Chain A
């Protein structure tokens, strides 16, 4: 009955213990709390120092601050003012992405940058499309069920209350969800575009179920968060403020509860004492090196920078890098196979309109032995803007006049994609490259090679996309192979020899070091990772508890 009462109130219900939506300015997109933000001195040891203000770091900061912790977040990128810093323009959005040099290798190298790497307060969720699906219960026991990948040391039930809470905080809009653990969403489904309607018709003819959503985009009254205006530039940062990112969903409440977010600070080392406990971090700001003291450190720099920071934090005690006694830091990095297939239709589709995430299907998510490979994929819509569309046309083998002609035909096309669950492999890993960045710190190298199961999954999913567009009577079809998302690299595990952190995100062997971002995921499902990263952070805060309680247990006490 309680649930029904809440749903009857529709989107206007206030989420518990998070006032972010009500702390925003109604007339400007800058975060008002920044002007009055608390500041900590360098020698003032904060209770928790968090490296990275993305999905994991921001959510953890907000939760811990509500529990009385003194929290400082160091973020390598800027503290965005969307009115001034963001533009409705693909090429002009370059500053949203992590574009410092990195090296990529392996047999199937993963291109980084604008596709999968963010910087600045809000992290990659500033430029994610907005899909916020939950993981399925099966994702947490892939090894047991399917004999591949790994089991998580926690279950779906551990995250479920946090999924539910976050879906109200973002808020998530979509139809009632039939897959995984069936559930409803606090906001109703958004309208969908012409192309999504056509793709859905094709799917129906093949017996493929699709649903609208789930997206972290307000669809109705929600505090001071504006309604979506369907301008389609979700990947360029939501100037509107309708799309959920930590900048609007958790940072305002965090600041109101005494968190300092120190932007433009690149952490280069985690410092430790003789006992092997963290004492704080070294970081660069405006070319100058600083030390910040902390009782405990959480790394939330995502799957490339988190391993890089740990590997660069060497000392006499940790000669191979922090938390890396078992040579597991940086291993098991995963991306999702994400080919996209575009279809041509007689009517104008104008796929630049409406948010790219419109409808999706998780019908093929779990293992089906008849397909001949383990695990599966999800189907989602995408809406490339001109530069993205040009890259799609190029990938199909066109250039010069042929490419120009496909580009002139842009308004007649619509694009669907998949997210294929690729399996974790130890040799897919982040290491340190020979070259250094402008601070003299070794940069990350990412090697990636698919296994046979991965290739079979991608090939099957691509055929499925083709068949949907054909069933929708597409007149011509163009395909691009690509990857999406990044997770893994510091997997959580039930024992020290099999992962980097325990089920409470605490680094094996370093009692006051935590990792709280997508890198702790042992497997990735075929869901977009943002909501799960936030849910993990929310659960971690609950596990860490009130500051007074943990201090008593010496969870995160000052070194002597």
Chain B
């Protein structure tokens, strides 16, 4: 049940939550319908996939294949895969299963040469950029004391390194800020193309041929669900037997 007060409260937003950063995901309601990454989200009773039979056939094929067919890793070598899998988890905050298979989706794009249509003059092509990022993440991890590289570093160090990466504060052999743009474009494009992520954020999803009719503030189509801000995880999680 939505409570207007909680929806109006912005203390859960990173810019508004003080020094503590975003609220920990453990305080989110657990998903009751369908799947979300890590089984939590803001819309516990929403599953966009229940609408799949209302989508046109071309869209349904593309989106359902994305869920059902997780491609094998074909482009990355074994060490790149190990490092970049850990990187993707940190970069998009996937701490446990079920995970959106971000690395597999990125690998498929690089394997088939599905690129974005531009390359900065001081950057290698995107596939090579991903490889260079893997090599450099390992180097930085070793420099900061994780002798077995980024994938084996503890979570705190991984977060520190990704934070430095995001701010361009690393001395790498490729332009760091641009490399961050290339890999994050890939990570976000994969993660937020997945219906599990749509469940987490309450996105209405494909809407052809039926369309949207309720455009006003707070209005919902019959298949859209309200956000839930009112869950107390201390009582909610045991109640649902999710511990």
Contact = CB atoms under 8 A, between A and B. Distances in A.
A binds B: yes
A400 B159 contact: yes
B192 A387 contact: yes
Interface stretch (B132-140, B199-207, B235-243): B199-207
B55 A88 contact: yes
Given A83-B56, A229-B210, A410-B203, A387 B188 contact: yes
Contact of B59 (A89, A192, A404, A445): A89
Interface in B39-57: 41-42, 55-56
Contacts of A89: 59, 62-63, 193, 206
B142 to A, nearest CB: 22
Nearest to A405: B22
Interface in B128-186: 159, 162, 166, 184-185
A101 B41 contact: no
A370 interface: no
Contacts of A397: 166
Interface in A198-247: 198, 229-233, 239-240
Contacts of B166: 397, 399
A139 B15 CA distance: 40
B73 interface: no
B216 interface: yes
Contacts of A401: 21-22, 24-25, 93
Contact of A404 (B93, B116, B185, B220): B93
Given A113-B116, A399-B91, A88 B192 contact: no
A87 B59 contact: yes
A425 interface: no
Interface stretch (A103-111, A454-462, A538-546): A103-111
A394 B188 contact: yes
A83 B226 CA distance: 32
B120 A109 contact: yes
Interface footprint category on A: 35 or more
B217 A348 contact: yes
A411 B224 CA distance: 11
B58 A87 contact: yes
Given A86-B58, A476-B15, A101 B215 contact: no
A191 to B, nearest CB: 6
Contact of A352 (B28, B197, B204, B217): B204
Contact of A85 (B58, B115, B202, B212): B58
Interface stretch (A92-100, A124-132, A276-284, A327-335): A92-100
A476 B10 contact: yes
Nearest to B28: A408
Contact of B212 (A101, A198, A353): A353
A387 B201 CA distance: 12
Interface string A63-99: 0000000000000000000011111111110100111
B16 A476 contact: yes
B94 to A, nearest CB: 9
A399 B120 contact: no
Given A102-B119, A409-B42, A445-B121, A398 B14 contact: yes
B92 A194 contact: no
B118 to A, nearest CB: 4
A411 B201 contact: yes
A218 B125 CA distance: 42
A352 B203 contact: yes
Nearest to A389: B192
A240 B207 CA distance: 11
A390 interface: yes
B131 to A, nearest CB: 17
B7 interface: yes
Contact of B117 (A86, A117, A192, A402): A117
Contacts of A90: 189, 192-193
B76 interface: no
Contact of A348 (B93, B190, B218): B218
Interface residues of B, number: 75
Interface in B1-33: 4, 7-8, 10, 12-16, 21-25, 28
B115 A101 contact: yes
A393 to B, nearest CB: 9
B14 A405 contact: yes
Contacts of A346: 4, 7-8
Which residue among B14, B23, B216, B219 has the maximum number of chain A CB atoms within 10 Å of its CB? B14
Given A403-B93, A406-B14, A105 B207 contact: no
A405 B23 contact: yes
A493 B16 CA distance: 53
A495 interface: no
B89 to A, nearest CB: 9
Given A87-B62, A92-B63, A386 B116 contact: no
A405 B227 contact: no
Given A87-B62, A400-B91, A104 B192 contact: no
Contacts of B78: none
Nearest to A97: B117
B110 interface: no
Contact of A103 (B22, B55, B121): B121
Interface string A334-355: 0000000000111111101110
A233 B58 contact: no
A193 interface: yes
Given A193-B215, A346-B7, A402 B22 contact: yes
Which of A105, A389, A397, A402 has the largest count of B CB atoms less than 10 A from its CB? A402
B188 A105 contact: no
A403 B13 contact: no
Contacts of B210: 229
A89 B14 CA distance: 28
Contact of B56 (A88, A230, A391): A88
B68 interface: no
A400 B184 contact: no
A114 interface: yes
B193 A91 contact: yes
A176 interface: no
A391 B188 contact: yes
Given A87-B206, A101-B115, A386-B201, A344 B10 contact: yes
A407 interface: yes
Nearest to A445: B121
B7 A103 contact: no
Given A399-B166, A407-B200, 4 more contacts: A92-B193, A229-B211, A240-B208, A411-B202
Which 7 pairs of residues, A with B, have the shortest CB-CB distance? A229-B211, A113-B117, A88-B206, A91-B193, A194-B217, A346-B8, A99-B117
18 contacts: A86-B58, A87-B56, A103-B121, A105-B120, A113-B116, A231-B206, A239-B56, A344-B13, A348-B219, A394-B188, A401-B22, A403-B92, A407-B192, A408-B28, A409-B13, A411-B203, A476-B15, A476-B16
Interface of B: 4, 7-8, 10, 12-16, 21-25, 28, 41-42, 55-56, 58-59, 62-63, 66, 90-93, 114-122, 125, 159, 162, 166, 184-185, 188-193, 197-198, 200-220, 224, 226-227
Interface of A: 83-92, 94, 97-105, 109, 111-114, 117, 191-194, 197-198, 229-233, 239-240, 344-350, 352-354, 385-387, 389-391, 394, 397-412, 445, 475-476, 478
